[in-house]
Structure 1
Amino acid sequence: MSTLRPRARGPLSLQTRLMAAVTGFVSLILVVIAITTSVVLGNVLDGRLQDELASAAKGAGAAAAQQAVIGGRIPDATDLVVGQTGVQTGTLVMVVSTSGAASGTFVSADHVAQDLTPLQMRQVVTALAAGRVAEELAGLGDYQFAHQSFPNSAKPQFEVITGLSRGTTETQITTLFSVIAITTIGGLILLALSTAITIRLALRPLREVAATANRVANQPLDRGDVSITERVPASEADPRTETGLVGAALNTLLDHVDASLAVRQRNEERMRQFVADASHELRTPLSSIRGYSELSLRALSRVDTAADPATASAHTALERIQAQSLRMTSLVEDLLLLARLEEGRELTLAAVDLSRLAIEGVEDARPTAQDHEWSIDVPEEPVELIGDTGRLQQVVANLLANARTHTPAGTHISIEVTEEDGEAVLLVRDDGPGIDPAVREELFSRFARGDRSRNRATGGSGLGLSITKAIVEGHGGTIAVQSSPGATVFTVRLPRTPATVLHEHADESGSSVEDEGAARGGHRIGDTVSGR
């Protein structure tokens, strides 16, 4: 039985952590201050209540003693209250004799003396008997008491109990708590807002650094003419601040990377130009070698090689020289073509029917590999695009030759042409042994070989797939491969119209190259259009 694991909580942002820390510490300080203030003020109010209670008890006691001496009897509680001046509202007075007789009164809100109920007086007596100096009286609220005894053998003995309401003190403390709580909450809200704004402004350079890094990361830095123009704004890259120092460091890094990429680009251009120049220069001596070898072979063909072993050996050597010169010529032509394709040249654009190219490619490949099974899947309607017919035909031929060469007899090879999302898609499948994952990443590199995964039946330069990729990318398309034992698929995606902007020839009597391109219904890339 599987158990559901709780989803791991993601890390908190720096802004959230700073806000939580600042708000938490300030909240703790404010709570401590609020509690301390409330305790101190509560003690002060309790002390004032004690002073007022002592003053009220003193006045009631003096009045009771005077009446007891003059009248020779236990005074009535109401007389003690009425006989005093300045008695505050809520004052309670009780007189309790030793025999248990009691009288009590309290000053109401309208300064009228009202008698205590038997229940209220019983609650007072019970609380004092239990040693409590405060009690919640029915209908009156919380009271605090002070009592005085008047023992005198010659005179009546009694106790005078004085009480003051704690309601005023409790109301003041409650009001204080409310004010402190509201002030604290409001202060924390203002603190959180001001902290958020301050931190957001302080971290803005870091966000600008991240945005700049993301923009640079989205640039295609692995090919073509690369120039990193993105920089952190100078206002956010002040090295005198901590966050600005990060922006300044990133700008320094980008300057260094931009300079390094520029050097790399110049080196690649020099190397590409060297390959193109060397390939171009090698064509002439290779043509001479092949021509002289052919002439020598024609001359030796008229000699009886059976009678002269040396002549037979020379004939064999010349055949080998001619074969190797042909192979080297093919290699030089491929290198020259690849260099020109990478420069954005050698493409003549016109309307191309990709379905027809696929059909013709299979018809050309079938006689050279009759031990393979071939199939074609193309839509009824032509899949047309703007491209170089000859080069796209070379793409089809290279992919079919690659599948034919690197798979054993009996392998099924299929080619499919479809349309997806406004693009022309060419798929070449085979059910051969697949491509070794160790060489799959370098499959489209120059001189890449798949010998470790596929049984190579014939020789080759190792430039076929790299030329195929250059042609596809020259058309603004992509090529990818997915391979596993029994299923290898090369996928070519080509836009219906290349992104390269074509310019019409202003003069129809231009150079011969332009006339040739116009005669073929297209435009020569490199003469009128720059880049891929």
Structure 2
Amino acid sequence: MTEARAARGRPAWTLQTRLMVTVIGIVSVILVIVAVATSAILGQVLETRLSEQLRSTMDRVKIAGGPGGAFEGPDVNAKTILESSPQQAGFLLIVKPFLTPASGAFVADDLTVTALTDEQLQALADGLDGPGPTTVEIDGVGSYVVLADAIDNTVAVVGLARTEVQQTIARMLTTIGLLTAGGLLVLAAATAFVIRVGLRPLRSVADTATRVASVPMDQGAVSISARVPADQADDRTEIGQVGAALNTLLDHVDASLDARQRNEERMRRFVADASHELRTPLASIRGYSELSLRALRRAEGPVFEGSESALERIQAQSIRMTRLVEDLLLLARLDEGQDLVYGSVDLTQLALEAVGDARPAGPDHSWRVEVSDEPVVLAGDAARLHQVVANLLANARIHTPAGTEVTVRVFRDGADAVLTVHDDGPGVDPAVQADLFERFARGDRSRARQTGGTGLGLSIAKAIVTAHHGTIEVDSAPGDTTFTLRLPARPHAPVVP
């Protein structure tokens, strides 16, 4: 669970971002490796060339400093030798005659000859390693490749500056870096374009799925017209196959929803027809039971024991069945958008009348009404809205114990007319609260049923409110249960008497 929360907390990378980072990262690593390898090879070639040039220079120095040359005489000095025979910039010479201190000098970039100090000479002597060319760093002078050799009684050290090699490698690395950066930018742009074009069908699939998800499918006739465009559902490509599969799925869902709607319409027609057909025999049963009960009560002779009780039970059950049939017929008509007669409804007056009717039915309850001075008027069916409020009050009366306080409030909230029914009873079981407005739903067992209801009262209330384009909700806790009815109000509408 902790890992899942941590994963949700991390920023999500899109597929395009991951692909671009992967491609550009791999190419960058390859280019860096190529640049390092190229620089190493080029540096080795240049160093080898410089070493060969150094050997050639040493050969010329040997010829120039041989017998009768510049290295003979009592005062052999490297600076004097370089000044008498000008050399290229970066040339370094150190001479150490037998029994005479060493001297050294180098040719600067401006072709001036500068003598080396004793510390520089010592640093160079410490850096010599073996008979072959050696790379040394001389403070204040730079990096040199030097070669030592003996000429008669004199040790000569010749060096060439590595400046040109270093500059060449630096220029090459700079060029490679700039070309790499430019190439990566071009690669990023090209990769982004190709990925965007390639993922266009997938985005079309996501857009289609989003449009389908916004379509209400819980009730009524539903038609899913959104489809992935044909050019984005080419089953010859992997992503196109996803679009084609989604279109096939949507076709199947659309057909299933049509079949479901037809079945629901057939069921509604069946319920309506059955309810209509049952009204006549139920009315006959009720009428005959009443006639028989009256005749039995007027009879003077002996009667069969229990006949009156049986007829009373038949009458009670016929009345209950008639109520159930009437409720089913009303629900069927409301589902078909029928049985509503619109007019101007004063919700304040309607609440007062409903509470006035509820008081005699629930004398052991405390009834309160809280309304504003201004009437709350809306457009609707007054009889059906009265039935909604009566059902809510009956629900509060039946499912709460004696002494419960029931409060009805009516007020306006913006463009809505709001009516609430609050009681301080035991509350509704949270397990059934979500299904409380379903047909034949039963409330919390802790709410004792005092009468044999049909279980359709709240579902009828919801159907009537929905037909008025309103909402009805319940918020319940022990000691605090509130049913909230919210309907579109008519602003500043006069009360029609």
Counterpart position of 1:90: 90
Number of the residue aligned with 2:125: 128
Q: Deviations 1:328-383 (Å, cap 9, x if unpaired)?
A: 21111111011000111011111111111111111110111111011111111111
Q: Distance in 2 between matches of 1:164 and 1:374?
A: 111
Q: Offset of 1:237 from its aligned partner?
A: 1.4
2:401 to 398, 405, 408: 408
After superposition, the Cα gap between the structure-2 partners of 1:79 and 1:336, relative to the gap in structure 1 and judged at 3 Å, is same
User: Does residue 355 of the first structure (1) align with residue 351 of the second (2)?
Assistant: no
TM-score, length of structure 1 as denominator length: 0.85
> In structure 2, how many angstroms separate the alpha carbons of the residues matched to 1:81 and 1:54?
18
Q: Which residue of 2 aligns with 1:36?
A: 37
Contact 1:63 1:83 in 2 (8 A): no
Residues 408 and 71 of structure 1, relative CA distance in 2, 3 Å threshold: closer
How many residues in Structure 1 have an aligned counterpart in Structure 2?
Answer: 483
Q: 2:93 is matched by which residue type in structure 1?
A: V
Which shows bigger deviation, 464-473 or 288-297?
Answer: 288-297
1:387-429 per-position Cα deviation (integer Å, ceiling 9, x unaligned): 1000000000000000000100001111111222311111111
1:468-483 pair list within 5 angstroms:
468-483=461-476
- Name the aligned partner's letter for residue 125 of structure 2: L
CA–CA distance in structure 2, aligned partners of residues 324 and 211 of structure 1: 56
Q: Which residue of 2 aligns with 1:279?
A: 275
Q: In the aligned structure 1, how far is the partner of 2:57 from the partner of 2:70?
A: 20
1:185 and 1:473 map into 2 onto residues whose CA distance is 64
**What secondary structure sits across from 2:401 in the alignment?**
coil
Q: Could you tell me which residue of structure 2 aligns to residue 296 of structure 1? A: 292
Match of 2:115 in 1: 117
Letter in 2 for 1:256: H
CA distance in 2, matches of 1:453, 1:343: 36
Does residue 228 of the first structure (1) align with residue 224 of the second (2)?
yes
2:121 & 2:43 partners in 1: Cα distance?
24
- Name the CA distance, whole Å, in 2 between partners of 1:149 and 1:451: 113
Counterpart in 1 of 2:389? 396
Alignment of 1:415-454 (within 5 A): 415-450=408-443, 452-454=445-447
Residue from 248, 252, 268 that aligns with 2:248: 252
Question: Distance between the aligned counterparts of 1:219 and 1:497, measured in 2?
Answer: 29
| Aligned match of 1:516 | none
Contact 1:74/1:158 (8 A) holds in 2 = no
Partner of 1:148: 149
More off after superposition, 399-408 vs 185-194: 185-194
Instruction: Return the TM-score normalized by structure 2.
Output: 0.90
Give 1:454 shift.
0.9
Which secondary structure does the structure 2 equivalent of 1:94 belong to?
Answer: strand
Name whichever of 328-337 and 20-29 sits farther off: 20-29
Give the superposition deviation at 1:136: 3.7
Q: For residue 122 of structure 1, report the CA deviation from its aligned partner.
A: 5.4
Q: Deviations over 1:125-151 (max 9, x none)?
A: 542355253444455322221222123
Amino acid at match of 1:128: A
Q: Is the 8 A contact 2:438 2:459 kept in 1?
A: yes
Question: Could you list the per-position Cα deviations for residues 89-124 of structure 1 after superposition, in whole angstroms to 9, with x for gaps in the alignment?
Answer: 3222333211224454544445x5x443251x6523
Of the three residues 163, 176, 180, the one matched with 2:176 is 180
- Give unmatched runs, 5+ long, in structure 1: 152-156, 499-520, 522-532
User: What 5-or-longer segments of structure 2 have no aligned partner?
Assistant: none
The amino acid that maps onto 2:114 is: L
Percent of residue pairs bearing the same amino acid type: 54
